[in-house]
Amino acid sequence: MPELPEVETIRVQLRPRLLDSSIVEAGSHWSAKFTPAMEAVGSEFIDVRRRGKYLIFEVDSGSSPDTSSGNTNNSSGHDLIIHLGMTGRLAVVGDADFDHPHLRAWWRLADGDTFTFHDARRFGRIHWVPRGDYAGIATLAALGPEPFDGEFTAQHLHEAAKRSTRHLKTQILSQRPVAGVGNIYADEAFWLARINPAARHLSKERAARLVDGIRVALRSGLDNGGTTLRDYVDSRGQTGENQHRLYCYGRSGEPCERCGTIMRRRELDGRGTTWCPVCQAR
């Protein structure tokens, strides 16, 4: 699943292309997960933001078609929100293939290009909500702080860990202590911090190390255009490069790059987890 570095890479690429572009036509797959795409007709993109793993397209316009009644609704001040799921891909293309089996939504722009959303496994989702009204999107509304924001501190992470008895990695993946960290970057962060991901308690000193580890792991992903293991490509169709710079994730059976011990793998609350039994001893 695309995590913060992959989603942010796409945001940075799409923002200058979409700003001030108007949507003149739209279509979607029949599933209710994708049909909100059509609400955006008549809107103009005014910003592209990210929150955790969500892309938030701020739009503004006078009115757009109401697909259920044929009337028009005031759509000024709305957010078109896209979660990429496991295999979601966004692009702006000049010649869209509307018959592609994985095309889930599309938005025709006034200049003739088309903004497309492909999703092979259909785990992605599209929402259309009044600007900033995320109460109906539980996972978005409950997100913890962004990892590079000032409120994501060792004290915050220490306090969050005290409120849970779950494994530390599971807590991080819940998105509540911090937003945007998934399985790849969690494994990297715990290795960098020398903390066992199956531990359940976090001292203030280890919390500080984990905050640093999360930021270093994510920064590597951002600097290298994301991590491509199977499906991820950016909005230009390019793979990331961070898969060549992973210290921990996917390296079970290989020697630890820090101490030489053979890395191990286990299922931790249903998620494959790699760690070093020496550097990350419990």
pLDDT in tens, 11-56: 999 999 999 999 999 999 999 999 999 999 999 999 999 999 999 9
pLDDT at residue 65 tops 50: no
Q: Choose, from 53, 125, 169, 209, the residue flagged as catalytic.
A: 53
The domains of the chain, with CATH numbers, are: 4-141 (3.20.190.10), 154-275 (1.10.8.50)
CA distances from 8 to 50, 89, 154, 222 (A): 7, 13, 24, 8
Q: What are the φ and ψ backbone dihedral angles of 8, each rounded to 5 degrees?
A: -65, -40
For the question of residue 271 being annotated catalytic, the response is: yes
- Cα torsion 7, 13, 16, 17: sign: negative
Q: What is the Rg, in whole angstroms, of the alpha carbon atoms belonging to the chain?
A: 20
Token pair for 51 = 């929150």
By the 10 Å C-beta count (0-12 exposed, 13-18 middle, 19+ buried), 216 is classed as middle
For the question of residue 3 being annotated catalytic, the response is: yes
Distance of alpha carbon 2 from alpha carbon 14, whole angstroms: 16
Distance of alpha carbon 232 from alpha carbon 278, whole angstroms: 32
Q: What is the pLDDT of residue 62?
A: 57
CA distances from 86 to 121, 122, 124, 144 (A): 7, 8, 7, 21
pTM exceeds 0.85 = yes
Q: Choose, from 15, 17, 200, 271, the residue flagged as catalytic.
A: 271
By the 10 Å C-beta count (0-12 exposed, 13-18 middle, 19+ buried), 82 is classed as buried
pLDDT in tens, 94-120: 999 999 999 999 999 999 999 999 999
For the question of residue 197 being annotated catalytic, the response is: no
pLDDT in tens, 218-257: 999 999 999 999 999 999 999 999 999 999 999 999 999 9
For the question of residue 251 being annotated catalytic, the response is: no
